[in-house]
Amino acid sequence: MLCFDTGTAPAVGYGRTLDAGNKSDLDIIADCGTLEAQAAVSNINLIVRGRIDGTVRSYAYDPAANRYVSDVSADPQLTREELLAMVLNDSVLSVLGVPPGAGNRMALDRDEDGVRDGDAASPALDSWVEGGSPVVSWPTNEYWYVLESSDDIQASAWSTVTEVRYTDGNQVIVTNNAPESAKTFRLRRPW
């Protein structure tokens, strides 16, 4: 058997998922410390992604400051303890070691346009009716957004639209089944 060093640290791809039930687990806290130490010696970048209070959030670890930087520029940087304190009820965060140099793109600025993901405006939806069915479109450079619908704009329950997407020019287009009642559509950032 031959073995070759790939130059990739073993901590790349290692992760832990934290929720309200396990965020105080000593093994998980120790693993977070190990990942932070690997980031401090530039073996990895450390990112955190998940859902806090129903909102998708991302953070990148800054080893120089020993703090986590948010995908929303106005948010303060957080210590690990402050980040863990935000994991309540249905909140969940995944801590992950990623290749050096990939942390900013994977956690803060996915499209590398200089605007943090949490600060970026959602793309505009366009809609019309064709053959009795609602058609919804948005720009292809925002392809990864999830289209959701609800019978009531004030509702807290939204359903993912599962009809097939296709592209036409620079637009993502979804033709929905003819609804039995009025529908409201929105785009949700999946990360």
- Over residues 11-34, the mean pLDDT reads 93
Q: Are 171 and 139 in contact (CB under 8 A)?
A: yes
Stated pTM of the model: 0.73
Domain contains 134: yes
Query: What is the distance between the alpha carbons of residues 102 and 108, in angstroms, rounded to a whole number?
Result: 10
- Residue 98 sits in the same domain as residue 160: no
Domain contains 5: no
**pLDDT of 65-92, one tens digit each?**
999 999 999 999 999 999 999 998 888 9
| H-run or E-run covering 126 | strand 126-130
pLDDT band at 143 (very low <50, low <70, confident <90, very high): low
Within 8 A by CB and 6+ apart from 116, the residues are 70, 71, 72, 73, 108, 109
Q: 132 lies in which domain range?
A: 126-188
Per-residue tokens: 111:
């499209």
- Residue 37 sits in the same domain as residue 104: yes
- Residue 62 sits in the same domain as residue 98: yes
Per-residue tokens: 113:
């346009």
Residue 107 pLDDT greater than 90, yes or no? yes
- Over residues 148-155, the mean pLDDT reads 79
pLDDT band at 160 (very low <50, low <70, confident <90, very high): confident
Per-residue tokens: 66:
């020993």
Query: What is the distance between the alpha carbons of residues 128 and 173, in angstroms, rounded to a whole number?
Result: 11
Domain contains 131: yes
